[in-house]
Amino acid sequence: MTGVTISGVGITPFESDAERSALELATAASEDALDDAACSLEAVDSVHVGNVLTEALDVQGGLANAFVSAVGLEGVRADRIENTSASGASATHRGVEAVASGASDVAVVVGVEKMSDADTSTVTDAISKLTHGREYVQGITLPSFGGLAAGAYLDRYDAPREALAEVAVKNHENAVDNDIAQFQKEVSVEDALDSPVVADPLRLYDCCPMTDGAAAVVLERESDAEGVHVRSIGSATGTHAVAERPDPIEIESVSRASERTFADANLSRNDVDVACIHDAFTVLELLELEEIGFFERGTAWEATMRGETARDGAFPVNPGGGLKARGHPLGATGLSQVVELVWQLRGDLRGDRQVAGAETGFAVNVAGFGNNSVCTLLEAP
């Protein structure tokens, strides 16, 4: 146990082209989180901002300082945490450490990205620069890694192409009644199988979108505030160059980070009632579920096709739509997973949107194609 509680959460709508700036989105999400926590600005000791692209897209440098000023905080400790697509969970990790160590009584963690600040090819190139130089010269993009892994997975386990499509169908279905999701609409297996090829066998509907949005949490000590408990949080790096992994379908950073997180929490995989998995590509949901040990190797695709990971299934995965349908605003994604779990664990949601009886939630947020992974285990108040 970390002794840290999430006393409030806030999130903006996730959308393709937000009217507000990155700074305004971050401010809105954190004001909502402070309201939800019934916490005053004066109480805040530290601010941890997760963000990836604002300098790369030539929008804003020193984002944490700009944010602190915009939100009306004075004299706090603040910095920005960059860990590519896992920046949100890394910022959360730093915030939890600050409160757990006693350095902060109250920490605000906010993740934000406005990917519409530049055209698609500029953003794609900025993201592909997270690769090794010898990968970059080959024109490799993140979906390229996804395509290689997806082909290897389907071959290895003799799984049908529909297995990947089913992940997209499920996550879209889950986003239909998520008010902040980017795509609140269902898609069919046929839609997914007919969509254009991005990196064979991955098609457009296997890939997460580019998204604008922000999400925030307020962290306090369990002795000071009510809320969802941070049972543990852990991270681990993997190889930088993806080809250096002994097996193209293994993502060692995910297994390492999750082992640490379960060990620190003294919990097992069977204790988890609901999970948010980093499905930047459909195949990643399957690979990560197996890497963490929620399913045996080579079986997550069948479980998905049987409906086990649906919101009303035995093990609901990505009940808010995941990166695929809620959206993937890089720096905000890890926090949006935490916000979704907090809603589920507090029982805030209504009807089918709520996973019945969820007591323990797990999230994994992945940087690059497994360069780094951050896992979080949360427990109901």
Partner 1 sequence: MTRGTRDADGLRVDEAFRCGDCENEWYYTRNRCPDCQSATFSTYRLREGELVAYTTVNVTPPDVRSANVLGLAAFGDVRLIAQMSDDDPEVGDSVRFAGQYELREGGEKRARLTGVDGDG
Q: Contact region for partner 1 (CB under 8 A) — 146-154, 216-224, 257-265, 345-353?
A: 146-154
Of 333-362, binders to partner 1 (CB under 8 A) are none
Question: CB of residue 139 vs partner 1: minimum separation in angstroms?
Answer: 3
Q: Give the three-class secondary structure for 229.
A: strand
Gap between the Cα atoms of 67 and 82, Å rounded: 15
Question: CB of residue 266 vs partner 1: minimum separation in angstroms?
Answer: 33
Residue in 127, 131, 111 with CA at minimum distance from that of residue 25: 111
Residue 49 is classified by DSSP as E
Comparing CB distances to partner 1, the nearer of 69 and 239 is: 239
Q: Contact region for partner 1 (CB under 8 A) — 86-94, 106-114, 179-187, 241-249?
A: 241-249
Of 162-201, binders to partner 1 (CB under 8 A) are 196-201
What's CA 275's distance to the chain center, in Å?
11
Could you identify the residue written with the tokens 């402070």? 34
In degrees, to the nearest 5, what angle opens at C-alpha 362 toward C-alphas 357 and 364? 150
Among 33, 140, 217, 219, binds partner 1 (CB under 8 A): 140
Long-range contacts of 150-159 (CB under 8 A, 24+ apart): 150/201, 150/202, 150/206, 150/281, 150/282, 150/283, 151/200, 151/201, 152/248, 152/249, 153/249, 153/283, 153/286, 153/287, 153/301, 154/201, 156/249, 156/298, 157/298, 157/301, 159/301, 159/302
In degrees, to the nearest 5, what angle opens at C-alpha 270 toward C-alphas 265 and 273? 90
What's CA 327's distance to the chain center, in Å?
10
* 25 in contact with partner 1 (CB under 8 A): no
Other CB atoms within 10 A of residue 60 CB: 18
Question: CB of residue 355 vs partner 1: minimum separation in angstroms?
Answer: 34
Q: Contact region for partner 1 (CB under 8 A) — 137-145, 167-175, 177-185, 278-286?
A: 137-145
Question: CB of residue 151 vs partner 1: minimum separation in angstroms?
Answer: 5
* 16 in contact with partner 1 (CB under 8 A): no
Residue in 143, 118, 139, 136 with CA at minimum distance from that of residue 52: 118
Q: Contact region for partner 1 (CB under 8 A) — 141-149, 165-173, 208-216, 335-343?
A: 141-149
Q: Give the three-class secondary structure for 320.
A: coil
Among 165, 218, 242, 380, binds partner 1 (CB under 8 A): 242
Question: CB of residue 120 vs partner 1: minimum separation in angstroms?
Answer: 9
* 121 in contact with partner 1 (CB under 8 A): yes
Q: Contact region for partner 1 (CB under 8 A) — 43-51, 181-189, 239-247, 265-273?
A: 239-247
Q: Where do the DSSP E strands lie in the chain?
A: 4-11, 46-50, 77-81, 106-114, 197-199, 202-203, 212-221, 228-237, 274-276, 360-367, 372-379
Question: CB of residue 246 vs partner 1: minimum separation in angstroms?
Answer: 8
Comparing CB distances to partner 1, the nearer of 74 and 158 is: 158
Comparing CB distances to partner 1, the nearer of 134 and 306 is: 134
Q: Contact region for partner 1 (CB under 8 A) — 22-30, 167-175, 236-244, 283-291?
A: 236-244
Residue in 285, 294, 284, 277 with CA at minimum distance from that of residue 248: 284
* 161 in contact with partner 1 (CB under 8 A): no
Of 254-273, binders to partner 1 (CB under 8 A) are none
Q: What are the angstrom distances between the C-alpha of 298 and each of 227, 303, 308? A: 37, 10, 15
Question: CB of residue 72 vs partner 1: minimum separation in angstroms?
Answer: 37
Comparing CB distances to partner 1, the nearer of 142 and 233 is: 142
Question: CB of residue 129 vs partner 1: minimum separation in angstroms?
Answer: 6
Residue in 356, 370, 277 with CA at minimum distance from that of residue 322: 277
Residues that bind partner 1 (CB under 8 A): 121, 124-125, 128-129, 132-141, 143-144, 147-152, 155, 196-202, 240-245, 248
